Chain A
Amino acid sequence: MSERIVITGMGCLSAAGNDLPQHRDSLRAGQRACQKPSWFTAPFEGPVYEVSNPAYAASADEMRVFKLAWKAVSEALSQAGLETLPTRSVLGIFLGTTTACQLNDLEFQRGFYTGGPFSPVSPTRFFAGNLADRMGRRLGVAAGPRVTVTNACASGTDAMGLALDYLRSGLCDIALAGGADELSLVSYGGFHSLGVLSPEPCRPFDKNRQGLNLGEGSGVLVLEREPAARARGISPRLFVAGYGSASDAHHMTAPHPDGLGLERAIRTALAGAQLEERDMGFINAHGTATPDNDRIEGCTLARIFGASTPVVSTKGYTGHALGGVGGMEAVFTAIGLEEGWIPANVGFEEQDPDIPITPPRQTTTVDGKFALSTSLAFGGSNAALILGKI
C-alpha cells in the first residue's frame, strides 16, 4: 500500500464547545446545548445549536461562516505544529459548506423588492468569501489547491475525501480539510418547509423522533503523508484509511429506500482501505433524527455491519451543521477511536422496531483499530470516511 495519509491536527467549534477539550468534555458528559434561536424569530418551534460567542458575528467584510471556519483551522494548525508552514510544502485547502456559497440575506432581497437603495454590504462580503480561497489568503499562502466543496450535507466528508486523493496524487503536501456552516434563517425556513425540523430537541434513532435541529460551526483535520509528518518530528496516532462516495441517482430529497448509495459509498471506502466489515470498531452515523434518514441509514448499517457494531449519532450535541457537520464528526470519530469510547447517543430512549440498531444511551467503551463516519445529502450524495489507529 502507498504512503499512509495521517492526521496531525484537529480543530472543532460548535454549540458543544469552542475547542477539542471542550467537545471531549461535553460528549463524555452527554451534555446537549440546544436553545431557542437567539438572533431570529420564526412562527414555528425548533431549537437550534448556536455558537453564541459574539466574536463570530458577521462583520462588514467577513461572513460569519468564515469566522467559524477560521477558529477550527487555527486550532488544527496549532495542534499540528504548523503555525508557520514549511517552505516548499504545498498546502491544499478543502472546505465543505452550504451557506458560504449562498447570498442568504432576506433584508437585502426585501430592499430589492421594495425599490430601496442598493446596499453593497452583503454582496461585497459574499463575493469576498469563497471559503477555501479566502482561507488561503488569510493564511498568507498564495499557491496550492483551494477547493470549496458544495455537496450539501455531505460537503465536509467529501472535502476530506478530496484531500485524501490530492495527497495521494501528490497535488499537495499538507491538507486542511473539513467544513463549516452558519445558522441561517433561510436554511431554518427551508428545513421547516420540508417538514423535517423537530419542534423539540432532536432524538436520533429514537422511535419518537420528530426531525432534525439545525446547528453551526466547523470541524477541520490537518492531513499529511506519513513520511513527511514523521520527518518534521510528529508521531501521528491516526490516519485516514479510506473514503467512498456514491450517488443514489434516485431523488432530490429522499434517500434511496434501501440505502443503496450509502452501501456503495461504504463498500468503496472499505475496499479502498482493504478492510472488512468486522474491522470497524464503531460507526459515527449521519443520524439526523428525521424519520426517513434514521430508518434507512440504521437498516443499511445493520445490513452491512450486523446489529451489534456500535453506532452513534452525535447530532444531539451539535445539531445538523449541514456542510460543516462532516468535519465535526470526523473529529469525534478520531477522538473516539484514539481514546476507545463513544458518547451517549443523546436523545435516544425508545427503540424503534423498524431500526435494527441500538445506539448507546451512555458513554460506552469501544475497541477496534478502525471507525467509520457517514454523511448523506440532498441530491442523493452519500459519503463514507474510515479512520484508523496507527
Chain B
Amino acid sequence: MSEQDVSALKTQLKELLVAQLSLVDVRPEDIVDAAPLFGEGLGLDSLDAVEIVVLLQRHYGITLQDAAMGRQVFQSIDTLADYIKVNRTK
C-alpha cells in the first residue's frame, strides 16, 4: 500500500467514525492520527467499540471477535489503519 493509499484510508476511517458514531462537534479532519480514540482523546466508550467492530466488518470485511485484540487495534487511527492494511478482505 502506497503512502498515498494509507492517507486515503485514514481519511475514510475518520469520516466513517464521525458518521457511524454520531460524533458531534468533531470534524473528520480534527481527528489526530496518533491520538487515543477512547478515554481522553475522542472519548469513545464501550458501545462505540462494538460499533467499530461492525464498521470493520461492513467496510473492510474484517471479523474481529477477540476483545483483547480489539483493545490493541482500536487505540488510534494509526493502529486501526495498520490493522486494516494487513487484514482487509474488501
Contact = CB atoms under 8 A, between A and B. Distances in A.
**Direct A–B contact in complex, judged by CB atoms less than 8 Å apart:** yes
A254 B46 contact: yes
B78 to A, nearest CB: 23
A254 B46 CA distance: 8
B68 to A, nearest CB: 12
Contact of A193 (B46, B50, B65, B67): B50
B56 interface: no
B84 interface: no
A252 B47 CA distance: 9
A195 B65 CA distance: 8
A193 B57 CA distance: 11
A290 to B, nearest CB: 11
Contact size class for B?
A: under 10
Contacts of B45: 251, 254
A194 interface: yes
Interface residues of A, number: 8
B53 to A, nearest CB: 7
Given A193-B54, A251-B47, 9 more contacts: A194-B47, A194-B50, A195-B50, A195-B53, A195-B65, A252-B47, A254-B45, A254-B46, A292-B46
Interface of B: 45-47, 50, 53-54, 65, 67
Contacts of A251: 45-47
> Secondary structure at chain A's binding surface: helix, strand, loop or mixed?
loop
Closest 7 CB pairs of A and B: A195-B50, A253-B47, A254-B46, A194-B50, A193-B54, A252-B47, A193-B50
Contacts of A252: 47
A213 B54 CA distance: 20
A336 B65 CA distance: 38
13 contacts: A193-B54, A194-B47, A194-B50, A195-B50, A195-B65, A195-B67, A251-B45, A252-B47, A253-B46, A253-B47, A254-B45, A254-B46, A292-B46
A253 B48 CA distance: 11
Interface string A248-273: 00011110000000000000000000
Contacts of A253: 46-47
Contacts of B50: 193-195
A251 B47 CA distance: 9
A295 B53 CA distance: 23
A251 B67 CA distance: 20
A129 B60 CA distance: 41
Nearest to B46: A254
Contacts of A193: 50, 54
A173 B38 CA distance: 52
A254 B67 contact: no
B54 A254 contact: no
B73 to A, nearest CB: 14
Interface string A107-138: 00000000000000000000000000000000
Contacts of A292: 46
Nearest to B70: A195
A37 B76 CA distance: 38
A64 B46 CA distance: 33
A193 B52 CA distance: 11
A291 to B, nearest CB: 8
Interface string A231-263: 000000000000000000001111000000000
Contacts of B53: 195
A193 B65 CA distance: 10
Nearest to B54: A193
A195 B54 CA distance: 10
